[in-house]
Amino acid sequence: MDVKEEVYEQILEILKNAKFPINTMDELIAALPEGLDTTCMIGDVEVTAREAEGLITEKDFPLKDAKHVAGLMVERAGL
């Protein structure tokens, strides 16, 4: 599994209990297990949701499911 797939799968796991659609950034943050302190590993580097927050914009809402979020994050992170 390459880094892109790894990160994608981690995001799906992080959002597995989220209720969709998610309509605002506040709802997305609330859906994360540890809010903005939720972490994801990219290779050997730990990245927090706070550091990745800028990858999702208000124009992206509503978010329809975890796959939608994961796809946006992976694409915009340039993975």
Catalogue all structural domains in the chain, each as residue range(s) with its CATH number.
3-77 (1.10.238.80)
User: Side chain identity at 22, as an amino acid letter?
Assistant: I
- DSSP string for residues in the chain: --HHHHHHHHHHHHTTT--S-B-SHHHHHHHSTTGGG-EEEETTEEEEHHHHGGGS-GGGPSB-SHHHHHHHHHHHTT-
First to last CA, the chain: 13
In this prediction, residues 55-70 reach a mean pLDDT of 96
Q: What is the pTM of this model?
A: 0.88
In this predicted structure, the answer to whether residue 79 has a pLDDT above a threshold of 80 is no
Determine the pLDDT at residue 77: 86
Question: What does the alpha-carbon distance between residue 74 and residue 70 come to, in Å, rounded to a whole number?
Answer: 6
pLDDT (tens digit per residue) in 12-54 = 999 999 999 999 999 999 999 999 999 998 878 889 999 888 8
